[in-house]
Chain A
Amino acid sequence: MDKFDTEMRLAFQAKSCNEALARMTVAAFLTPLNPTLEELADTKTAVSEAVTNAIIHGYGEADGTVEVWCGRRGKEVFFSVKDTGAGIPDIGLAMEPMYTTKPEMERSGMGFSFMEAFTDELSVESAVGEGTVVKMKKVIG
C-alpha cells in the first residue's frame, strides 16, 4: 500500500523566507496530474500553513530543519511536513479553530482549520520535545 508512483523530499532551514519555496515545490510536484487552479491553491495553502506552524511553533527562535515529503499514487497526493522542534502538548486544543498560543504575533489560529478545509485527509503526530509531523492527502481530479 505504501508504494508510490513517485516521491519527493525537500529539506530546508526553518526560516520564513522558505515558506514560498515549500509551497511552490509541492505545487510543481502536483503539476503532472493537471490539477485545477483551485486544487493547486488548496494544496499550496495547506502546505504553507503546516510549514509556517513548523517554523513558528516547532522551532520559534531556534534554528532547525523543516522536511517536506510528497508522494503521488494515481490521483492521490500525499504530503507531510515534519519538524524536530518543540512538539504539541495538546493536539486537540491546537487544532481548535481560532486557538493560538501566539496572539502577540497576530496568529489567527486558523492554520489547522485551513489544512482540514483544503485537503481530504489530515493527521498530526507530535511528541513534546521531539517534534511534529503533519500528514495530509489530497485527491486531484
Chain B
Amino acid sequence: MKAAEYELRGDILVIHLKADLDHHTAVAVRESADSLLARSHAKHILFDFTGVEFMDSSGIGVIMGRYRQVIFQGGRVGVMGVGSNVDRIFKVSGLYKIVEQYESAEEAFTRPAKECFAGSNDIK
C-alpha cells in the first residue's frame, strides 16, 4: 500500500496521505515530498489526512520537517481532512500553532498568513 499520493496544484504540493502516518510511512513520505519539492516550484505544502485514522509523533516530525523546508522561502504548511484521532495528536503537540487547517485544497492558503495564525489560536 502506498503511503501517499502527490499532486501539484499551482504552487502547492498536496500530499494525499493513504495510510497511517507512523515511523514506517513517515520515511517514505519524507523522501518523496522532498524530492518533489526540489524538482518543482511548490512553495506551500498541504497534507490531506482524509481517511487517515492514525498518526503518532513520527507524523509530527514529518510535518515539522517540511515546515522548516518551506518557511524560509515564505511557504506555509496546511492540513485538511483531519479526523478526530489525528486532531488530538495535533492539539496535544501544539502543531496547530504552525500549521493551518483548511476545509479543502481550493481553500488552502487563501487566507492571509497572519489571519490564519490568529484563527489557529482559537482552537482549543
Contact = CB atoms under 8 A, between A and B. Distances in A.
Interface string B43-73: 0000000000010111011101100000000
A13 interface: no
Contact of A16 (B27, B57, B85): B27
Contact of A106 (B22, B65, B89): B65
Interface string A44-83: 1100110010011000000000000000000000000000
Interface string B89-101: 1001100000000
B32 interface: no
B25 to A, nearest CB: 9
Contact of A20 (B24, B30, B88): B24
B26 interface: yes
Interface residues of A, number: 25
Interface string A81-122: 000000000000000000000000111111101100100000
B22 A20 contact: yes
A1 interface: no
Interface size class of chain B, counting residues whose CB lies under 8 Å from the partner chain: 20 to 34
Contact of B57 (A20, A23, A41, A111): A111
A6 to B, nearest CB: 25
Nearest to B28: A16
A56 B85 contact: no
Contacts of B62: 106
Contact of B54 (A44, A52, A113): A44
Interface in A25-52: 37-38, 41, 44-45, 48-49, 52
SS of A interface (majority): helix
B23 interface: yes
B56 A106 contact: no
Contacts of A17: 24
B26 A106 contact: yes
B61 A20 contact: no
A48 B30 CA distance: 19
9 contacts: A37-B84, A48-B23, A52-B57, A52-B58, A56-B23, A105-B61, A106-B64, A107-B57, A108-B60
Interface of B: 20, 22-24, 26-27, 30, 54, 56-58, 60-62, 64-65, 84-85, 88-89, 92-93
Interface of A: 16-17, 19-20, 23, 37-38, 41, 44-45, 48-49, 52, 55-56, 105-111, 113-114, 117
